[in-house]
Chains A and B, each alone.
Chain A
Amino acid sequence: DVKVTQSSRYLVKRTGEKVFLECVQDMDHENMFWYRQDPGLGLRLIYFSYDVKMKEKGDIPEGYSVSREKKERFSLILESASTNQTSMYLCASSFSPNYGYTFGSGTRLTVV
């Protein structure tokens, strides 16, 4: 089974801090995605990547950046964390966009 591992289950950061959320997948998938999930808003796509060093903006990229230096690793960066970035962050990977996504367990980030 494909495994997607997110480095932290819970994080608490202060406003203005630079935050790194790490995601690693073990099945050689080309495609990786970062979503955030908020009550009543569902999952919203932040960034995605189809290849190493490649990235594309999703629906809500403002305040975020990403890095994909290796195929298996896709990092989400909050350059200067703000309280409105308190959320559940979910990483996913897939063989292709036409296949089901495999999600990690999520990182619940609280910015205080």
Chain B
Amino acid sequence: SQKIEQNSEALNIQEGKTATLTCNYTNYSPAYLQWYRQDPGRGPVFLLLIRENEKEKRKERLKVTFDTTLKQSLFHITASQPADSATYLCALLTGGGNKLTFGTGTQLKVEL
């Protein structure tokens, strides 16, 4: 069956460290993978999109990698801050490329 798996356990890190979140998928061949941030009681906010022919994408303190052989994406936040605390969702373009399917998200807590 098709699955998008993100670590359901919260990730707690210290301010200033690099946070690394993982997204694994099975039985998909996505052309695109996206990452979103979601704060409690709010809608997700788009962060980054990476294409299957791109190994890595950066935006300010964010970095995303996409390994189609391992079927995995890693999402890094460098120099993390308490304001980065949120749930981060990965999403794949599926269904022939016309709909976005989401993982369940990983909660990140950045402590002082």
Residue from B34, B99, B103, B104 within 8 A of A48 (CB atoms): B99
CA distance A106 to B45 in the complex (A): 12
CA distance A104 to B42 in the complex (A): 8
Please state if A42 and B43 are interface contacts (CB–CB under 8 Å).
no
CB distance from A110 to the nearest CB of B (A): 14
Report B-chain residues with C-beta under 8 Å of the C-beta of A59.
Answer: 101
Residue from A50, A97, A99, A105 within 8 A of B43 (CB atoms): A105
Report B-chain residues with C-beta under 8 Å of the C-beta of A4.
Answer: 43
Report B-chain residues with C-beta under 8 Å of the C-beta of A100.
Answer: 34, 36, 46-47, 49
Report A-chain residues with C-beta under 8 Å of the C-beta of B102.
Answer: 35, 42-43
Please state if A103 and B44 are interface contacts (CB–CB under 8 Å).
yes
> From A102, which residue of chain B is reached at the shortest CB distance?
B46
Q: Verify if A81 is at the interface (C-beta below 8 Å from B).
A: no
Q: Name 6 interchain pairs, CB-CB below 8 A, sorted by A.
A: A43-B102, A56-B98, A59-B101, A90-B43, A98-B32, A100-B36
CA distance A45 to B101 in the complex (A): 7
Report A-chain residues with C-beta under 8 Å of the C-beta of B101.
Answer: 45, 59
The DSSP consensus for interface residues of chain B is strand
CB distance from A29 to the nearest CB of B (A): 13
Report B-chain residues with C-beta under 8 Å of the C-beta of A104.
Answer: 43
Please state if B104 and A41 are interface contacts (CB–CB under 8 Å).
yes
> From B98, which residue of chain A is reached at the shortest CB distance?
A97
CA distance A97 to B101 in the complex (A): 11
Please state if A97 and B42 are interface contacts (CB–CB under 8 Å).
no
Please state if B100 and A101 are interface contacts (CB–CB under 8 Å).
yes
Please state if B43 and A98 are interface contacts (CB–CB under 8 Å).
no
Given contacts A56-B98, A98-B97, 15 further A-B contacts (CB under 8 A): A33-B99, A35-B102, A40-B104, A42-B102, A42-B104, A90-B44, A97-B93, A99-B49, A100-B34, A100-B46, A101-B34, A101-B44, A103-B43, A104-B43, A106-B42
Report A-chain residues with C-beta under 8 Å of the C-beta of B47.
Answer: 100
